[in-house]
Amino acid sequence: MKAYTEWNREELLAEKAKVQADYEALKRRGMNLNIARGKPGTEQLDLVRPMMDVLRADSDYMSDGIDVRNYGNLEGVPACRRFFADLLGVKPENIFVGGNSSLQLMYDVIGKAYIYGRGPGKKPWMQEGKVRWLCPAPGYDRHFRISENFGMEMIPIPMKEDGPDMDLVEELVRDPSVKGMWCVAKYSNPDGIVYSEETVRRIASMETAAEDFLLMWDEAYCVHEFAVPFQPFPEILSLCAAYGHPDRVYAFASTSKITFPGAGVSCFACSEDNMAWMSKLLGVQIISFDKINQLRHALFLKDRETVLALMAKHAEILRPKFACVLDALEKEIAPLGIARWAKPVGGYFVSVNCMPGTAMETWRLCKEAGLTLTKAGATWPYGKDPEDSNIRIAPTLPPVEQLQSAMEIFCTSLKLAVLNKLTEA
Ligand SMILES: Cc1ncc(COP(=O)(O)O)c(C=O)c1O
């Protein structure tokens, strides 16, 4: 089959009539599916339901001499700090365990920088004229929402196969108003890109004009391989420290896609000075997070090895779902040359770059046919994709049969959006 761009107008109009009819037929099926967010499916949640049984007797609630039912231990239950330390390859004293959301901790780290500065004696960012922020794009919409919420000026950084364009990053950080950067270095959201070791080193070692530069290192998918075995990844805290920037980075992780997104446990990892600073400030707003849940997680997940065994079970569930999406794209879209996508081996998304100018229309057509996707544009700062091209597909929630129907709608909508564009007067 030839790519659509090589068809003549007559052929395109005939194809459009056919695809329009297919689309109307799909619409009549009355699908009602929302895959806007990367949510684990029920089968994945069921895998960890037994975690709710680990605390039974009164004595089970004692851990390292602490009764976890009571107030105290702001930085987290020691057993859970040890667990996350093992997961991320850092020391327990570098781990702060929070509530169920790493996003909340990210918001707080940035919020504290605005109100109090990055450390004792540092200037609060709200007193800075302008705060500029590096946003590898496409990226995670909720990171961008935090930045936007604080009034940062977001600068999109093109993503390459080995991570963000580092030549551009190194140039931009010479500006003292550039205060930080978002990074999802392993299985980026949405592209599923893994930063190369060289990219990670350049980020850790680069000289920034802002001495309080903040690297927001999100490890949301650090153990989330589904098509390959676990891939070790550079540990950012020790790298930043080795290059003389120990306070540059906060790394974040959570069990949202290991246990329960609604009731998991999150953490950040940082230098000892950052830990002292954040503990002091967080201690004003909370006495301690949910330590019962922290202990439950520590007892059930134990260590990295146990987590990896669990994630291998997740992978079995997820593989057919990703295969369903990729097969549909390969069969229906690839021959027409109207989109590009990478084949992720980990993470939670398939990122489709449609023919420029067609993503929003594809999203709208899907929505009208009962399939809700992450809004086109959401993967870019301010929700504005300059090419109107990127769409994020989150295949993890629905069963495969439903996903197949969803992909029929997606592929047909994409074709129709492209045909509409190509046949515009
Ligand atoms: C990159 C990334 N970070 C953070 C989150 C949210 O994490 P949490 O549930 O810990 O707030 C997500 C959820 O999709 C994500 O994709």
| pLDDT, tens only, 384-420 | 999 999 999 999 999 999 999 999 999 999 999 999 9
Last residue of a domain, one of 255, 288, 303: 303
Which structural domain, as residue segments, surrounds residue 38? 4-45+308-422
Distance between CA atoms of 302 and 207, rounded to whole angstroms?
38
The minimum-distance atom of ligand 1 relative to the CA of 188 is: 1
Ligand 1 centre from 60 Cα, in Å? 30
The Cα angle at residue 394 between residues 390 and 396, in degrees rounded to 5: 165
Residues 279 and 383 in one domain: no
Q: Is 53 among the domain residues?
A: no
Tokens 């999100």 locate to 218
CATH of the domain at 406: 3.90.1150.10
Ligand 1 centre from 36 Cα, in Å? 13
Ligand 1 centre from 336 Cα, in Å? 34
The minimum-distance atom of ligand 1 relative to the CA of 257 is: 9
Residues 327 and 400 in one domain: yes
Residues near ligand 1 (Cβ within 6 A): 38, 101-103, 140, 184, 189, 218, 220, 254, 256, 261, 266
Examine residue 156 and say whether the peptide bond preceding it is cis (omega within 30 degrees of 0): no
CATH of the domain at 117: 3.40.640.10
Residues 249 and 360 in one domain: no
- Distance between first and last Cα of the chain: 25
Ligand 1 centre from 419 Cα, in Å? 35
Of 135, 141, 182, 256, best ligand 1 pocket probe by most atoms within 8 Å of the beta carbon: 256
Classified as helix, coil or strand, 183 is strand
In tens digits, what is the pLDDT along the chain, a chain of 425 residues?
A: 789 999 999 999 999 999 999 999 999 999 999 999 999 999 999 999 999 999 999 999 999 999 999 999 999 999 999 999 999 999 999 999 999 999 999 999 999 999 999 999 999 999 999 999 999 999 999 999 999 999 999 999 999 999 999 999 999 999 999 999 999 999 999 999 999 999 999 999 999 999 999 999 999 999 999 999 999 999 999 999 999 999 999 999 999 999 999 999 999 999 999 999 999 999 999 999 999 999 999 999 999 999 999 999 999 999 999 999 999 999 999 999 999 999 999 999 999 999 999 999 999 999 999 999 999 999 999 999 999 999 999 999 999 999 999 999 999 999 999 999 999 97
**H or E stretch covering 363:** helix 359-368
Q: What integer pLDDT is reported at residue 42 of this predicted model? A: 97
Q: Encoding tokens for residue 181?
A: 């950067």
Asked if 411 and 332 count as a contact pair (C-beta separation under 8 A), the reply is yes
Residues 314 and 299 in one domain: no
Q: Residues 6 or more apart from 401 whose CB is under 8 A from it?
A: none
Residues 146 and 202 in one domain: yes
Residue having the nearest C-alpha atom to atom 13 of ligand 1: 38
- Could you give the number of structural domains in the chain? 2
Query: What single-letter amino acid sits at 258?
Result: I
Last residue of a domain, one of 303, 334, 364: 303
Strand stretches in 286-404, DSSP E? 339-341, 350-354, 371-372, 390-393
Closest by CA to 157, choosing from 189, 135, 139, 176, is 135
Q: Residues 6 or more apart from 73 whose CB is under 8 A from it?
A: 66, 288, 291
Q: Is 50 among the domain residues?
A: no
Residue having the nearest C-alpha atom to atom 14 of ligand 1: 38
Residues 281 and 313 in one domain: no
Last residue of a domain, one of 253, 279, 303: 303
The minimum-distance atom of ligand 1 relative to the CA of 221 is: 1
Cα distances from 200 to residues 105, 203, 243, in angstroms, run 22, 5, 12
